């Protein structure tokens, strides 16, 4: 294993804001970690890198062509759209991701959003903190309708690791679960009902988007599909913002076709000033934190180190650009 191979992390802050260690990567070579890399400094910082590690810092074909020393690109993520994988493949450079490190955390966040809407515990706790309970004549009070999940129908679009995790938790809550997916073969029977897309939309009280972002799923939740949903249903998206047409979702919320949109992702992050969903009270939006538990980030850093070590040993793993 090369002792002095140059490893550059381009945007390490979101994965490790200081509560974790980079020692796994430090043991593999000469490590340089940047919290963030602005476009104007990208080539300068990458010039001597033999291994690049990136999360959202975009590596275009032009950038890759300008880095003659580059041997491998490693993602601090599952999604690979921050790197031109084809350009890497042309140079024989493997592009490696980290699958499934955040599954449990993302599943938990879906239900944090759903329970946050159903019970509004934080709102009520704040009300008690400011003394509102003291003025009540009864022993309890409620600021919002209290909604029970048991007996409601959850529709899950996609049935990978996250979709399966969502199904397991929903069933534990006593929900009826419908699943629509491109391929059922080899998928576990957890107690879900297999349905086609039309039935999923028509019968779900809550629709959860758990499919990957691909050309086929981009903008999947559009006006046509929103119109097929049960009036007053909810939707959850903690996967990719581009799975939904944000303007169409905003219109559905304004009309009451959707009762609420529970979102951890948007198509542009941070959102543009004119994003139609951000100001809407019917949209509960968190800043892309579903993946970001300390536990999940710890697994992420460990798996990136394992990916690099495997590459240096001659057996690259988790390669996503066809090499």
Active site members? 240, 269, 288
Chain mean position to CA 10:
20
Tokens representing 236 are 């959850």
Q: Does residue 197 contact residue 228 with C-beta atoms inside 8 Å?
A: no
Tokens of 231: 């009036």
Tell me the C-alpha distance between 177 and 186, whole Å.
19
The CA distance from 165 to 171, in Å, is: 10
**Residue-wise burial string across 275-296, b where 16 or more C-beta atoms lie within 10 A, e elsewhere:** bbbbebebbbbeebebbbbeeb
Residues whose CB falls within 8 Å of the CB of residue 60, separated by 6 or more in sequence, listed in order: 84, 87
If phi > 0 it is left, if psi is from -120 to 50 it is alpha, else beta; for residue 82 that is alpha
Q: Which of 313, 310, 303, 295 is nearest to 105 (CA)?
A: 295
Q: Can you list the alpha helix ranges (DSSP code H) found in the chain?
A: 23-26, 42-46, 61-65, 85-90, 103-119, 121-129, 161-172, 197-203, 223-228, 246-255, 294-312
CA angle 35, 39, 45 (to 5 degrees): 60
Q: Which of 89, 6, 94, 87 is nearest to 46 (CA)?
A: 6
Name the region of 232 (left: φ>0; alpha: ψ -120 to 50; beta: rest): left
């Amino acid at each position: 294993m090369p002792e002095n191979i140059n490893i550059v992390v381009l945007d390490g802050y979101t994965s490790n804001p200081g509560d974790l260690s980079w020692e796994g990567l430090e043991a593999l070579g000469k490590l340089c970690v940047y919290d963030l890399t602005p476009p104007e400094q990208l080539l300068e910082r990458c010039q001597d890198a033999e291994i690049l590690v990136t999360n959202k810092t975009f590596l275009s074909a032009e950038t890759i062509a300008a880095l003659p020393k580059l041997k491998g690109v490693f993602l601090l993520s599952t999604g690979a759209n921050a790197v031109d994988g084809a350009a890497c493949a042309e140079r024989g450079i493997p592009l490696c991701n980290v699958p499934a490190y955040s599954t449990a955390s993302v599943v938990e966040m879906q239900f944090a959003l759903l329970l946050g809407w159903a019970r509004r515990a934080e709102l009520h706790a704040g009300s008690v903190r400011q003394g509102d309970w003291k003025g009540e004549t009864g022993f309890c009070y409620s600021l919002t309708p209290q909604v029970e999940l048991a007996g409601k129908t959850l529709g899950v679009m996609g049935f990978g690791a996250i979709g399966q995790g969502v199904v397991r938790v929903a069933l534990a809550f006593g929900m009826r679960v419908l699943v629509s997916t491109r391929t059922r073969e080899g998928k576990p029977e957890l107690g879900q009902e297999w349905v086609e897309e039309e039935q999923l939309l028509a019968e779900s009280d809550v629709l959860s988007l758990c499919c990957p972002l691909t050309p086929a799923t981009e903008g999947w939740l559009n006006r046509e599909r929103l119109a097929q949903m049960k009036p007053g249903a909810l939707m959850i998206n903690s996967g990719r913002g581009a799975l939904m047409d944000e303007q169409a979702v905003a219109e559905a919320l304004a009309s009451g076709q959707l009762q609420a949109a529970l979102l951890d992702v948007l198509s542009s992050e941070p959102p543009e000033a004119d994003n139609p969903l951000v100001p809407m009270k019917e949209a509960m939006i968190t800043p892309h934190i579903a993946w970001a538990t300390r536990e999940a980030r710890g697994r992420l850093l460990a798996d990136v180190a394992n990916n690099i070590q495997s590459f240096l040993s001659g057996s690259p793993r988790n390669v996503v650009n066809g090499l």
